[in-house]
Amino acid sequence: MEYLKVQGHSGLVRDTSSGAIINTNKAEYQEYMERVRASDEKDNLLSQHTVEINNIKNELQDIKVLLIQLVNKG
């Protein structure tokens, strides 16, 4: 494989056979992967909170129904 430097980007090269741009800077790649992992963790946390909020909403609805039944009996 032959690589050509990308003008204006010291950490990038172009693979002449496929035309792909390749990042050769390992530190930049590690930083990118850390950002991806942090974003995934935030998404997971948001999903967990959404499930918890929906559970609380369901429990409040159950309490509301029970209170209405209690008031109607009295």
pLDDT along the chain (74 residues), means of 10: 92 95 94 96 97 98 97 88
Nearest CA among 19, 41, 21 for reference residue 29: 21
pLDDT at 53 (0 to 100): 98
Inter-residue contact 13 to 6 (CB < 8 Å): yes
Nearest CA among 2, 49, 5, 48 for reference residue 23: 5
Tell me if residue 18 falls in helix, strand or coil. Answer: coil
Question: For strand 3-6 and strand 21-23, is the pairing parallel, antiparallel, or unpaired?
Answer: unpaired
The Cα–Cα gap between 19 and 23 comes to: 13
pTM, full prediction: 0.59
pLDDT at 33 (0 to 100): 95
